[in-house]
Chain A
Amino acid sequence: MATQPKAPAASAGRAATRKELPEHFKAYKHVWVFIEQERGQVHPVSWELMGEGRKLADKLKVDLAAVVIGPEGEATQHAAADAFCYGADLVYLVADKVLEGYRNESYTKALTDLVNSYKPEILLLWATTLGRDLAGSVATTLLTGLTADCTELDVDADNSLAATRPTFGGSLLCTIYTLNFRPQMATVRPRVMAMPERVPRDIGRVITHPLGLVEDDIVTKILSFVPDRDSAKSNLAYADVVVSGGLGLGSPENFQLVRQLAAVLGAEYGCSRPLVQKGWVTSDRQIGQTGKTIRPKLYIAAGISGAIQHRVGVEGADLIVAINTDKNAPIFDFAHMGIVTDAIRLLPALTAAFRARLSPHTRDRIAS
């Protein structure tokens, strides 16, 4: 149903593409970044988005504000203070005990009220499960435009937000504008932007705003929160080294070859979309447009053909090494290094060779 780029080729109603911002939207100023917290922890990606927000604010010559919404207490205060170290000029804070744990109703009210009261021109959130749940409700309440899952943001010559996102499974990119409504909202895909450096700074201007809800006003109740088991918790998006496998592995049993190499390298393992669809690997391990975006220093792709949908998720890697039997596979168009051979045969050899090379014992022997 979500058809932003429904007719990419068609001239999308030329009249609508002119900027004629209604008078009442002209008061909307400044760039806001929603700081995502879950259970007392700032989601690390939130600070990444501050770097992007800073860039846009500087181009527009406006302020960058961090929006912190959470339960009263130290964690929320700390998040607000930390925002200044990542470049915020000011912080909007809604702190209330009913904001313990994310709920759509309470967070939508908090964020919508802030927007209506302080009128930002740009509002950025992460395209996480929380960010997308919240952004959709807020944008619909405000009846403004929302561009989902962006990979690139910029400001154009007439100061409009240009939000670029992959579409049709990554086959195309499109740049989307919200010309005549405010705020211009976008959710941004985690890990597509570099983390800004933390510069210790004193806490600045914090504007607190009341939530205006009590627990009885909120219908939805959180009965419990079950944290992911450590074994199931994948650090895929943040791993320095990732090994992944695709259909070229031939059978679900052969996927253990990927896991074994990952174990020797202290790496995370992942896979391409077909393996999730076939049920060989769980979906939290999927890398690509509809899965995780990764930025490792080393990425080894075994038996992955390299469909556009996969490419989108791995382009931020420093070094992409592809193993595939087909020398014409598209993965070799974006890998830095390739080897044309059967991954099933090469992976065990690679595991053994890496183990030998990286074990302290071997290295000590070589050194002496």
Chain B
Amino acid sequence: MHIVVCIKQVPDSAQIRVHPVTNTIMRQGVPTIINPYDLFALEAALELRDKLGGEVTVLTMGPASAEDSLRKALTFGADRAVLLTDRFFAGADTLATSYALATAIRKIGTEFATPDIVFTGKQTIDGDTAQVGPGIAKRLGLLQLTYVAKISKLDLEARTIEAERRAEGGVQVLQTRLPCLVTMLEATNQIRRGAMKDALRAARAPIVKWSAQEAGVEDISKCGLRGSPTIVKRVFAPSPRTEKATFIELAEQPAEALIEAIFQRQPNLEAELATLARGY
């Protein structure tokens, strides 16, 4: 069995600051991490490999420094790492990103082994689109299972997979055929502590590095900015509210004072709350 896990190196969003004058992201000194959602995909892939045998290849597209994230993935136990890096990939939107990654996955298939499953995280914390997974699936003609909470069955001989998919108002239990693409839901597993041998291996392991041409990109105009139908026209900080919070002074009975202030400001609320509260 061969599993490809797509990961992305992202800035640690908890530490992002916006430049007060230029309204741009201040990236300097912001540490990067593996997109946290991708770790659930990686762990799910590693668990399947440990149970059924085979290999896990991690793939990322990004600047040369994205190698750090690949090495980190190797310390968790991934078998192989592929870095897709080229200036032609820069500025890609979701459509162009899915083109580049799908091309690289095809190349991984011919170079190493055809993947049975491609995993991605649910979405990234910087882009938040959740569109690249479905995009890759469509370009590779893979069946797709998104928002998967659990892979309940995988039959490599029958080439079938069963999964629990988070839907609106419930869980769909779906069965489909391999090869497929799975986007993994958060909090569905716990990324393992890497073993010492993996940490040692990760430090020295060769990283497969492909340019657009080496990855098999035939049409460079489908990559990066040129291959992106969407255009970011304006970037701006959320407008600050002019009104500041009214502070309730800490009186002897602060709870009562606060409630009084709430009802003074929203006189209809008391009757509505009384009705709501009666429901309980």
User: Chain A: residues with CB nearer than 8 A to chain B?
Assistant: 1-10, 12-13, 16-17, 36, 38-39, 43, 101-105, 108, 128-130, 132-133, 135-137, 139-141, 143-149, 162, 165-181, 219-228, 233, 240-241, 263-267, 276-277, 279, 282-283, 289-290, 297-298, 307-309, 311-312, 318-319, 321-322, 327, 332-341, 346, 349-350, 352-354, 357-360, 363
Contacts and interface: CB of A to CB of B under 8 A. Distances in A.
A129 B240 CA distance: 31
B241 interface: yes
B154 to A, nearest CB: 14
19 contacts: A1-B94, A4-B94, A43-B168, A129-B168, A136-B138, A139-B131, A140-B135, A141-B138, A143-B95, A143-B229, A145-B93, A145-B230, A171-B18, A176-B231, A220-B145, A290-B128, A336-B265, A338-B246, A357-B259
Contacts of B8: 1-2
B162 to A, nearest CB: 7
A352 B244 CA distance: 28
Nearest to B186: A283
B241 to A, nearest CB: 5
B191 interface: no
Contacts of A226: 164, 170-171, 173
Interface of B: 6, 8, 11, 13-14, 16-18, 22-25, 36, 61, 90-95, 97-98, 101, 120, 123-135, 137-139, 143-147, 162, 164-177, 186-187, 225-226, 228-238, 240-241, 243-248, 250, 253-256, 258-259, 261-262, 265-266, 269-270, 272-280
Contact of A220 (B101, B175, B230): B175
B165 to A, nearest CB: 8
Contacts of A176: 230-233
Nearest to A221: B175
A169 B16 contact: yes
B131 A337 contact: no
A148 B186 contact: no
Given A12-B91, A309-B13, A339 B254 contact: yes
Contacts of B237: 171-173
